[in-house]
Amino acid sequence: MQNLFNYIARKSPIHELTGATKLVCLILWTFATMMTYDTRILIALPIIAFILFGISKIKLSDVKFMLGFTLVFMVLNNILVFLFSPEHGVGLYGTCHQLLPLWGGKYLTAEQLWYHLNLVLKYMSSIPIILLFVCTTQPSEFAASLNKIGVKYSIAYSVSLALRYIPDIQKEYSEISKAQQARGVEMSKKVSLVKRLKAASSILIPMIIMSMDRIETISNAMELRGFGKNKKRTWYMARPFTAKDILSMVFCALLLVLSIWSNVSRGTRFWSPWM
């Protein structure tokens, strides 16, 4: 079964960065992407993101499910934006270059196509970095990172448990699915999508029961060990910052500064060749 939101162990410079560094870089990168519609910056960010993806030695086959899901969501988002507001770009950029007539007296404009290009670039800028963070950060180290930046350690540990539990859910789903198929429940592409969805829904009840049992076991074990009694705790996976960590955070901070400067210098978040 295809893994999603799962740590993938590799030997790469990205994996060597501390979890706190990758979390800070993710936050800075996300803000830099969100704050601007300057196409020049949005073209540079995906290029850097895919270079970093290559450096991490994470293969596209490792994350093909999430990439495919994101691609579908990106296409649907662009289609819906266009259907509900086909001249939205005209209002954003303040110019109008009509290309083709549409319905209701509206026109397909170059500004609208430029706006959709920016939307695609935003997805291409943020999704690889998010996948990179998830695939290169060990859950326990991620919890230590959250605690290091001020998040209460009980909350940080809960996030770590949730990330650890995702592969277990996938494994349990696969095992129950194979057991159902061994009993004659067809879930392959030989049957219609509706029948496959009905068969998949029958797996939910055993999964919920197994999940509740596991939650009770983990909560009892944590309570018996006095979890949450003290205000602070140590982390086995915590690591000190190195020069590479500092340089990575400075680089992402500079990207955010560039994004803000682009907005302030022009007095707007948007940029196009016609402005």
What digits encode the pLDDT tens for the residues 125-177?
Answer: 888 888 888 888 877 777 777 777 777 777 777 777 776 676 677 777 777 77
**Residue 180 pLDDT more than 80?**
no
* CB neighbour class for 201 (10 Å; exposed up to 12, middle 13-18, buried from 19): exposed
Give the C-alpha distances (Å, rounded to integers) separating 186 from 82, 197, 204, 217, 243.
39, 11, 16, 33, 55
Q: What is the pLDDT of residues 219-260, one digit of tens each?
A: 777 777 777 677 777 766 667 778 888 899 999 999 999 999
DSSP for residue 123: H
The answer on 50 and 3 residing in a single domain is yes
Which residues make beta-bridge pairs with 101?
A: 107
pLDDT value for 1: 46
Q: Which two tokens stand for residue 216?
A: 């009770």
pTM for this prediction: 0.73
The answer on 88 and 185 residing in a single domain is no
DSSP for residue 270: B
The answer on 231 and 187 residing in a single domain is yes
Pick from 235, 239, 27: which is nearest to 133 by CA? 27
Provide CB contacts within 8 A for 123, sequence distance 6+.
70, 74
The answer on 196 and 145 residing in a single domain is yes
Pick from 76, 108, 70: which is nearest to 90 by CA? 108
The answer on 120 and 8 residing in a single domain is yes
Q: Which domain holds residue 184?
A: 140-236
The answer on 120 and 78 residing in a single domain is yes
Percent over 90 (pLDDT), the chain: 6
The answer on 195 and 228 residing in a single domain is yes
Q: What is the pLDDT of residues 77-106, one digit of tens each?
A: 888 888 888 888 888 887 788 777 777 777
The answer on 203 and 215 residing in a single domain is yes
234 with 8: CB under 8 angstroms? no
Mean pLDDT of the chain: 79
Structural domains of the chain, count: 2
The answer on 174 and 71 residing in a single domain is no
Alpha-helical runs (H) found in 149-192: 153-182
The answer on 164 and 94 residing in a single domain is no
Q: Which residue has the higher pLDDT, 187 or 18?
A: 18
Confidence band of 2 (pLDDT split at 50, 70, 90): very low
Q: Longest C-alpha distance within the chain, in Å?
A: 70
The answer on 260 and 189 residing in a single domain is no
**Helices and strands, number each (H, E), in the chain:** 10, 2
The answer on 250 and 231 residing in a single domain is no
